Structure 1
Amino acid sequence: MLPERIRAFTASLVVRTENNEFVWVYDDIHSAATLRADAFKMMLRYSFSSTEICGEFAIIYTDHDGKEYRFYTNQQHQDYDLVRRLYEVAQSSGMRLPF
């Protein structure tokens, strides 16, 4: 389960990415989306846990000083859907669609 500050930050990133304020880089080989902003870097990485037998996300946040923070959620936690939504929005933010 994510700390409240991280959950609120994630929700804000969903809105700001949907409003085209951020464009993420999607890496389909590693199932990851990365955002490089002026004050921070954030990576979302999806994987399937064979131990818990469910999908999970790692959130890797790096602050402006280069300090790295890691947070995790999986399908057994309520905040999983929020992180999954950010991952989907991030993944599609750099897409070029024909119309």
Structure 2
Amino acid sequence: MLLASWVAITALTLQPGPGSEIVAVAFPPWWDARHAIDAAASADAAVVRMTAVPSLLIVRPDGQDGLRRLRASGAWFAIDPQAVAACLGK
């Protein structure tokens, strides 16, 4: 119960703000960087930079439904990229 609460609070706290142009997207952790990049490209998202975690990318989604297309391509969730930089130091 404690772990589920922590995950829920973290997910809500780290969500990208409304109208965010750049977001961090997390793909399944067993995906390599090439798989994640291909999935982002299939959603018409431009990769801004890589992170220390191969399945976590900083991207610029294209258009209003960019996050929906990223989720459809396999992204688990999107978070504020500044939170990723703070946590991973990259």
User: What is the TM-score normalised by the length of structure 1?
Assistant: 0.24
Higher Rg of the two aligned structures = 1
Pick the structure with more strand per residue: 1
User: What is the TM-score normalised by the length of structure 2?
Assistant: 0.26
Pick the structure with more helix per residue: 2
